[in-house]
């Protein structure tokens, strides 16, 4: 970003520090997952299949799958598996956990990316204008939106959206992703992206048609938080010393607004996006349930229902990895945007 | 200034660069309007340096901001501020914007937070220059920035660094470089060295001094530090409760202060001869409902009966020296409060 | 001579009385709505004929007449009835009591674990502090809803789903928040002269912690509590929606909405709409209390708001500060609408 070699060096050092700080957190997260889902329930085979198999069968399968080994050995095997990309084999699914994830993660990613775009778009726009037009009707409306949308459960909004836009108006389907028949050739698994890559116009329309309702519902809810944050930051940067100094130098109003106030107001937003991502994943579970969206949330709910501890553990481990990687990425973006951070 | 690109077309006149008449600066409060600056006349000649002193809350900062009308929403300015014979009060925000930075520059007290943390120093310059001279190319603007920084003793190679990479003193010099890059006729410096250490302070004062000598820039220096005024200013205006109570050449006022408040202020500073530190008892008055008569009367050691009834005006008390005190004939003027 | 108790009370309400009018209105309105929800359930039998789990009415002759299925709103059933013949209004009233009970117990659990750990971590420092902070951070970055689901899921194996296990599942999520706020506050209080003085005078560590540190740190808890309470309502509803809340047919808003999904395809809207309206109302009320309290307890932030700015901003170049704090746990900025705790909403 900056031309100076010293800045580049400090950025690298900053990133290395972040990675070094992330590793213990990842280890602790994985350990917690292991303790909660492997140690706490006792024998996962019995817990999952106890009512369907005889005691001998359970014993045999436990032995075969290594659940009778000392817990430390299993812990080591678990960590080793995570390192080599082996997240185990669910007891109630023919696929490996990684296979399940490969099948469902693109759907979740597509949903969350779309939602994040809606959230940032709505949040930044409404928040910034609210902050600039403080105490005007627009501001009052924007704040009201922020408060009410925060208080509304996402699954309820989803149900209402289905009721109004699918059933009454018939604009969008009530749920599910595009059916396999219309689906574009699978490249990334993100149907919208694949449609664009294969220049398949009808698939693009169809995939967007399915994506709009769940994605907007999830995005608006997360966007409510951005509205509040951007608005407050905007108020603060508008009163900051450097904005006043820019006015004193005779910088034009628009330039002060965008180059100074708005840009600085967005810096904390980058950090918050990282935090919201965890909420976004939680919200995605609910959204997927409401809209029958075949993503990771649906997968984990299915494993939970089947009391498939191995499957749950595998997917939760993946969630933990995603969360840690995202927070690392956010740190990276922060370091690029805000020169003060790379000390 | 050597760093300048094109000499700015300015009306060269023998008259004062700044002429203030009856300036009032007020804020709305829940208890009613508060006039932090309550009727001030002031002139600054090209190359002249006028010090503005007084306790905190006396209105000197409000006066500084009133000159450029850089005030929070809800604040109001009355009276007249003429910069090179052009009125600033009541003009459109657009023409006001064009004159800020171009003709009149403000240097702030706190340099640490005055530069946008996300913006390179060079971008500050380019933005400022091109806001006023859109025809100047980016490269030219960067060239001007380098020259202005060099003039302030900052290595031009650091032009692309970010603000946080500079020390406080360097940032203040950058602020001054930003202020002078367009060759304004007047610089208003509001406590420019308060946040800095003594060595940096003298560097900054040297810079300001050089500017007004070499570039004939008028300087209004707002400070509570009388020592700085004695060192760098030609004239000094002493403010109390929103008004100027005494004004005149620095050497006269420091050697022979006429107003009891100035006397008290001088007595309360420490010098080599100080054996006993004086203080002025009491507090400045509440400006939402100022007292009738002389505003200093409640704290004045030389208070007389009619001081609480008659509002004193500035009157000549010595060569070029004026004071607003009823001890001197002519101060009662016509302004007798009913 | 007023009694000591009265003096204490006066002292306690003083910040409230000196707070801005907006803050007082926020707190009052929010509290009123919350109280209505809390009291309604207890008074319901006196003014409402149905019970949340009632699907039939006993007739004078001893037989039972079932309530209608999916009856639209009418005088008899102001908000209609559900697929299972329950009265929607009755379930909303009972669901409010359940929500408040779970909120109370869950935040209590979070507080009982988070506050002492935070105190210990902040006061002791060193290795213990580093380990605890990393563990709490790890829990904090994890998707909170997923965490609650897993805890509820694990507890299901041992306990029947009910208020205690739901409260535990919801409460776990908020432990890191109490921990972080209390730890950071303890760190700063520890440096205060009066604490150092107490220590240098040879006060026992327990006395120092309980008398000097805890007393100061505890003041930051009510704000987190009210903001978490709003969030906890949403978390409980989400758990209920996914089937990890309390045992059906106990009236619970989230569960009721999940049951109503089938209804909307046949055009029935009242079973889905009203429980959600109840959630929005209660969450908004609790948020109002939290943000109002925030204003009351941190008057400094309030002074930076609308009222003070016009007068002071130009006075002697004061520092107006940096953009809003990045730390989501710092209590909100400015007029209480900061990212604050609400920034970490559950968004369920």
**Chain B residue numbers touching A248 (CB-CB < 8 A):** 68, 70, 100-101, 105-106, 108
B264 Cβ contact list (under 8 Å, min separation 6): B278, B280, B301
Number of domains in chain A: 1
Helices C144-156 & A263-291 angle (0-180, nearest 10): 30
Output the six-digit token pair for A211. 């994506």
Work out the minimum CA distance from B61 to partner chain A, whole angstroms.
Answer: 14
CA dihedral A326, A328, A330, A334 (to 10 degrees): 180
**Dihedral sign for Cα atoms in the order B254, B256, B258, B261:** positive
Residues C93, C236, single domain; the answer is yes
Among A131, A250, A266, which would you mutate to test the B interface (most chain B Cβ atoms within 10 Å of its Cβ)? A250
C264 touching chain A per CB within 8 A: yes
Work out the minimum CA distance from C23 to partner chain A, whole angstroms.
Answer: 16
**Closest to A282 (Cβ–Cβ): which among C144, C257, C264?**
C144
Distance CA A293, CA C230 (A): 28
Distance CA C271, CA C256 (A): 8
What is the ipTM metric for this complex? 0.85
CB of A183 closer than 8 Å to CB of A200: no
Work out the minimum CA distance from B37 to partner chain A, whole angstroms.
Answer: 20
Work out the minimum CA distance from C82 to partner chain B, whole angstroms.
Answer: 55
Work out the minimum CA distance from A46 to partner chain C, whole angstroms.
Answer: 12
**Closest to A249 (Cβ–Cβ): which among B101, B110, B120?**
B101
Position A285 scores a pLDDT of 92
Work out the minimum CA distance from A328 to partner chain C, whole angstroms.
Answer: 11
Position C310 scores a pLDDT of 31
Distance CA B268, CA C55 (A): 87
Q: Is B113 helix (H, G, I), strand (E, B) or coil?
A: coil
Backbone angle region of B269, left / alpha / beta, with phi > 0 → left and psi within -120 to 50 → alpha = beta
**Dihedral sign for Cα atoms in the order A135, A136, A138, A140:** positive
Residues C275, C332, single domain; the answer is no
CATH assignment of the domain containing A226: 1.10.3720.10
Residues C305, C196, single domain; the answer is yes
DSSP A224-267: HHHHHHHHHHHHHHHTSHHHHHHHHTT--HHHIIIIIIIHHHHH
DSSP C242-273: HT-SSPTTS--HHHHHHHHHHHHTTT--HHHH
C141 touching chain A per CB within 8 A: yes
Q: Which residue of C has its CA nearest to A326?
A: C141
Distance CA A43, CA A50 (A): 10
Q: Would A210 be classed as within a structural domain? A: yes
Please give the residue that has the higher pLDDT: either B14 or A154. A154
Q: What is each CA distance from B240 to A93, B37, B243, B245, in whole angstroms?
A: 84, 10, 5, 6
**Inter-chain residue contact C272 with A222, CB threshold 8 Å:** no
**Inter-chain residue contact A250 with B108, CB threshold 8 Å:** no
Per-residue pLDDT of B125-164, as tens digits, reads: 999 999 899 999 999 999 999 998 988 888 988 999 988 8
CB count within 10 Å of CB C211 equals 14
Over residues B61-69, the mean pLDDT reads 88
Output the six-digit token pair for A262. 């708005």
CB of C216 closer than 8 Å to CB of C153: no
**Residue-wise burial string across C57-89, b where 16 or more C-beta atoms lie within 10 A, e elsewhere:** eeeeeeeeeebeebbeeeeebebbbbebebbbb
Q: What is each CA distance from B169 to B152, B173, B192, B227, C21, in whole angstroms?
A: 11, 6, 10, 19, 43
Per-residue pLDDT of C14-28, as tens digits, reads: 666 666 677 778 788
pLDDT tens, N- to C-terminus, chain A (343 residues): 333 444 456 777 878 888 888 888 899 999 999 988 887 777 777 777 777 778 788 888 888 788 888 889 889 999 998 988 888 888 888 889 898 998 889 889 989 999 989 988 998 888 888 888 877 888 888 888 888 888 899 999 998 888 888 877 878 877 777 665 566 667 777 777 777 777 777 777 777 878 889 999 999 988 888 888 888 888 888 888 888 888 888 888 888 888 888 888 888 777 777 777 778 888 899 999 988 888 899 999 999 888 888 899 999 999 999 888 888 888 888 777 777 765 5
**Inter-chain residue contact A163 with C258, CB threshold 8 Å:** no
Q: Which residue of A has its CA nearest to B71?
A: A244
Residues C174, C266, single domain; the answer is yes
Work out the minimum CA distance from A232 to partner chain B, whole angstroms.
Answer: 18
Work out the minimum CA distance from B83 to partner chain A, whole angstroms.
Answer: 15
Binned at pLDDT 50, 70 and 90, residue C12 comes out as low
| Cα-to-chain-centroid distance, residue A139 | 29
Which residues form the domain of C132? 4-315
A neighbour chains, 3+ CB pairs within 8 Å: B, C
**Closest to B72 (Cβ–Cβ): which among C307, C310, C319?**
C310
**Closest to B127 (Cβ–Cβ): which among A2, A255, A264?**
A255
Position C2 scores a pLDDT of 55
**Closest to C310 (Cβ–Cβ): which among B56, B61, B73?**
B73
**Inter-chain residue contact A4 with B161, CB threshold 8 Å:** yes
Work out the minimum CA distance from B35 to partner chain C, whole angstroms.
Answer: 11
Residues C247, C338, single domain; the answer is no
B:183-212 residues touching chain C, CB 8 A cutoff: 190-191
Position B56 scores a pLDDT of 80
**Chain C residue numbers touching B24 (CB-CB < 8 A):** none
**Inter-chain residue contact A260 with B120, CB threshold 8 Å:** no
Q: Would A74 be classed as within a structural domain? A: no
Count of residues making up chain B: 338
Identify the CA nearest to C288 among candidates C235, C332, C347, C253: C332
A:204-263 residues touching chain B, CB 8 A cutoff: 240-242, 244-253, 255, 259-260, 263
CB of A34 closer than 8 Å to CB of A28: no
Residue with tokens 């009222």: C307
B115 touching chain A per CB within 8 A: yes
Q: Would A281 be classed as within a structural domain? A: yes
Position A282 scores a pLDDT of 86
Report which secondary-structure segment, H or E, holds B252.
helix B250-255
**Chain A residue numbers touching C153 (CB-CB < 8 A):** 304, 312
Distance CA C7, CA C15 (A): 14
Report which secondary-structure segment, H or E, holds C8.
helix C4-18
C neighbour chains, 3+ CB pairs within 8 Å: A, B
Distance CA B321, CA B246 (A): 8
Distance CA B120, CA B164 (A): 10
* Burial label, C336 (beta-carbon count in 10 A; 0-12, 13-18, 19+): buried
Distance CA C225, CA C103 (A): 10
Residues C42, C99, single domain; the answer is yes
**Inter-chain residue contact C143 with A324, CB threshold 8 Å:** no
B:15-74 residues touching chain C, CB 8 A cutoff: 25, 27-30, 34, 36, 56-57, 61-62, 65, 71-74
Backbone angle region of A307, left / alpha / beta, with phi > 0 → left and psi within -120 to 50 → alpha = left
**Inter-chain residue contact A163 with C322, CB threshold 8 Å:** no
Per-residue pLDDT of C218-276, as tens digits, reads: 777 877 887 788 889 999 999 999 988 888 888 889 888 888 888 888 878 888 888 88
Work out the minimum CA distance from B236 to partner chain A, whole angstroms.
Answer: 24
Residue with tokens 């130009």: C314
C348 touching chain A per CB within 8 A: yes
Distance CA C304, CA C282 (A): 29
Output the six-digit token pair for B73. 């929403």
B278 touching chain A per CB within 8 A: no
Please give the residue that has the higher pLDDT: either C297 or C311. C297
Across the B:C interface, residue pairs with CB atoms under 8 Å apart total: 41
Rounded percentage of chain B residues whose pLDDT exceeds 70: 91
How far from each other are the two terminal CA atoms of chain A, in whole angstroms? 15
**Closest to C138 (Cβ–Cβ): which among A32, A155, A237?**
A32
Q: Would A64 be classed as within a structural domain? A: no
Identify the CA nearest to C254 among candidates C243, C267, C269, C270: C243
CB of A213 closer than 8 Å to CB of A161: yes
Distance CA C325, CA C331 (A): 9
Residues C183, C238, single domain; the answer is yes
Which residues form the domain of A182? 105-294
**Chain A residue numbers touching C337 (CB-CB < 8 A):** 143, 146, 228, 231-232
A277 Cβ contact list (under 8 Å, min separation 6): A112, A116, A323, A326, A327, A330
C326 touching chain B per CB within 8 A: no
DSSP A128-142: HHHHHTTTSHHHHHH
Q: Would A277 be classed as within a structural domain? A: yes
C61 touching chain B per CB within 8 A: no
Distance CA A18, CA B156 (A): 33
**Inter-chain residue contact C314 with B190, CB threshold 8 Å:** no
**Chain B residue numbers touching C319 (CB-CB < 8 A):** 110, 113
Over residues C99-125, the mean pLDDT reads 90
CB count within 10 Å of CB C32 equals 13
Among C99, C133, C141, C253, which would you mutate to test the A interface (most chain A Cβ atoms within 10 Å of its Cβ)? C141
Work out the minimum CA distance from C127 to partner chain A, whole angstroms.
Answer: 14
Residues C157, C175, single domain; the answer is yes
Task: Give the mean pLDDT of chain B.
Answer: 84
Position C18 scores a pLDDT of 62
Residues C179, C206, single domain; the answer is yes
DSSP B127-189: HHHHHH-TTS-HHHHHHHHHHHHHHTT--GGGGGS-GGGS-HHHHHHHHHHHHHTT--SEEEE
Among B70, B114, B195, which would you mutate to test the A interface (most chain A Cβ atoms within 10 Å of its Cβ)? B114
Position A214 scores a pLDDT of 92
Number of domains in chain C: 2
For B286, which DSSP code?
P
For the ranges A2-16, A182-196, C113-127, C174-188, which has the lowest average pLDDT?
A: A2-16
Per-residue pLDDT of B237-289, as tens digits, reads: 999 988 999 999 999 998 888 899 998 888 877 665 656 666 777 778 888 88
């Amino acid at each position: 970003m900056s031309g100076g070699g010293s800045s580049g060096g400090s950025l690298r050092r900053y990133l290395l520090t972040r990675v070094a700080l992330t590793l213990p957190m990842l280890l602790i997260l994985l350990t917690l997952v292991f303790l909660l889902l492997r140690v706490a329930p006792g024998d996962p085979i019995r817990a999952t299949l106890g009512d369907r198999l005889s005691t001998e069968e359970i014993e045999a399968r436990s032995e075969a799958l290594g659940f009778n080994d000392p817990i430390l050995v299993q812990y080591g095997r678990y960590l080793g598996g995570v390192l080599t990309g082996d997240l185990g084999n669910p007891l109630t699914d023919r696929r490996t956990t990684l296979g399940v994830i490969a099948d469902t993660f693109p759907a979740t990613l597509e949903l969350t990316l779309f939602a994040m775009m809606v959230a940032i778009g709505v949040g930044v726009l409404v928040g910034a204008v609210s902050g600039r037009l403080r105490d005007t009707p627009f501001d009052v409306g924007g704040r009201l939106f922020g408060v009410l949308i925060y208080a509304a459960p996402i699954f309820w909004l989803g149900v209402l959206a289905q009721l109004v836009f699918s059933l009454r108006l018939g604009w969008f389907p009530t749920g599910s992703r595009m059916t396999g028949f219309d689906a574009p050739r699978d490249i990334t698994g993100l149907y919208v992206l694949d449609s664009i890559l294969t220049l398949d116009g009808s698939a693009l329309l169809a995939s967007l048609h399915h994506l709009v309702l769940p994605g907007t519902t999830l995005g608006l809810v997360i966007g409510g938080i951005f509205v509040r944050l951007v608005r407050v930051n905007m108020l603060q940067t508008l009163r900051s010393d450097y904005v006043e100094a820019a006015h004193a130098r005779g910088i034009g109003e628009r330039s002060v607004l965008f180059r100074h106030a708005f840009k600085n107001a967005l810096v904390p937003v980058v950090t918050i996006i990282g935090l919201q991502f965890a909420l976004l994943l939680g919200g995605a579970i609910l959204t997927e349930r409401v809209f029958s969206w075949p993503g990771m949330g649906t997968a984990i709910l299915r494993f939970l229902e089947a009391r498939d501890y191995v499957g749950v553990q595998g997917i939760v481990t993946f969630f933990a990895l995603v969360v840690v990687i995202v927070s690392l990425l956010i740190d990276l973006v922060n370091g690029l945007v805000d020169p003060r951070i790379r000390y | 200034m050597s760093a300048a690109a094109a000499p700015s077309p300015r009306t060269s006149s023998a008259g004062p660069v700044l002429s203030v008449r009856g300036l009032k600066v007020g804020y709305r409060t829940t208890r009613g309007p508060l006039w932090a600056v309550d009727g001030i006349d002031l002139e600054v000649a090209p190359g002249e340096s006028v010090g503005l002193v007084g306790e905190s809350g006396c209105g000197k900062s409000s006066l500084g901001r009133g000159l450029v009308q850089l005030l929070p929403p809800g604040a109001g300015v009355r009276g007249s501020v003429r910069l090179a014979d052009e009125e600033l009060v009541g003009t459109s925000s657009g023409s006001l914007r064009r004159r800020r930075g171009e003709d009149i520059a403000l240097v702030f007290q706190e340099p640490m937070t005055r530069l946008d943390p996300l913006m390179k120093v060079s971008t500050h310059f380019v933005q400022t220059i091109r806001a006023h001279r859109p025809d100047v190319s980016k490269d030219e603007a960067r060239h001007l920035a380098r020259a202005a920084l060099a003039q302030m003793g900052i290595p031009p190679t650091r032009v692309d660094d970010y603000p946080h990479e500079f020390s406080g003193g360097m940032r203040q010099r950058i602020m001054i470089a930003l202020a002078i890059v367009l060759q304004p006729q007047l610089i208003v410096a509001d406590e420019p060295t308060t946040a800095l250490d003594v060595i940096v302070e003298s560097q900054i004062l040297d810079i300001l001094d050089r500017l007004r000598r070499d570039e004939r820039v008028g300087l209004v220096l707002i400070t509570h530090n009388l020592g700085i005024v004695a060192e760098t200013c030609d004239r000094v205006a002493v403010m109390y409760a929103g008004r100027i109570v005494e004004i005149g050449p620095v050497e006269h006022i420091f050697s022979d202060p006429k107003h009891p408040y100035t006397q008290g202020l001088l007595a309360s500073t420490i010098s080599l001869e100080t054996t006993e530190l004086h203080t002025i008892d009491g507090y400045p008055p509440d400006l939402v409902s100022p007292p009738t008569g002389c505003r200093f009367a409640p704290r004045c050691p030389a208070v007389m009966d009619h001081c609480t009834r008659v509002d004193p005006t500035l009157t000549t008390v010595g060569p070029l020296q004026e004071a607003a005190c009823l001890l001197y004939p002519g101060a009662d003027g016509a302004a007798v409060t009913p | 001579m007023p009694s000591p108790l009265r003096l204490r009370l006066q002292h306690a309400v003083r910040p409230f009385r000196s707070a801005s009018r907006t803050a007082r209105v926020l707190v009052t309105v929010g509290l009123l709505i919350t109280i209505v929800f809390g009291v309604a359930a207890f008074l319901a039998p006196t003014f409402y004929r149905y019970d949340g789990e009632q699907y039939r009415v006993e007739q004078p002759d001893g037989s039972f007449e079932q309530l209608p299925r999916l009856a639209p709103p009418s005088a008899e059933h102001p908000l209609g009835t559900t697929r299972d013949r329950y009265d929607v209004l009755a379930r909303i009233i009972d669901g409010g009591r359940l929500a408040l009970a779970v909120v109370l117990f869950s935040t209590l659990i979070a507080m009982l674990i988070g506050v002492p750990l935070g105190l210990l971590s902040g006061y002791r420092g060193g290795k213990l502090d580093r380990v605890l902070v990393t563990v709490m951070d790890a829990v904090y970055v994890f998707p909170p809803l997923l965490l609650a689901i897993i805890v509820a899921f694990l507890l299901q194996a041992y306990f029947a789903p009910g208020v205690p296990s739901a409260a535990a599942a919801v409460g776990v999520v908020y432990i890191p928040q109490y921990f972080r706020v209390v730890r950071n506050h303890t760190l700063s209080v520890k440096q205060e002269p009066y604490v150092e003085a107490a220590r240098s005078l040879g006060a026992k560590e327990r006395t120092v912690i309980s008398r000097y540190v805890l007393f100061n740190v505890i003041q930051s808890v009510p704000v987190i509590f009210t903001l978490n309470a709003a969030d906890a309502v949403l978390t409980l509803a989400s758990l209920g929606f996914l089937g990890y809340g309390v045992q059906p047919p106990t009236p619970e808003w989230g569960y009721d909405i999940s049951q109503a999904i089938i209804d909307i395809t046949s055009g029935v809207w009242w079973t889905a709409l009203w429980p959600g309206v109840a959630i929005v109302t209660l969450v908004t009320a609790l948020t109002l209390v939290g943000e109002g309290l925030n204003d009351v307890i941190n008057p400094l932030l309030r002074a930076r708001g609308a009222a003070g700015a016009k007068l002071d901003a130009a006075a002697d170049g004061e520092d107006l500060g940096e953009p809003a704090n990045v730390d989501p746990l710092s209590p909100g900025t400015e007029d209480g609408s900061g990212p604050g705790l609400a920034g970490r909403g559950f968004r369920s």
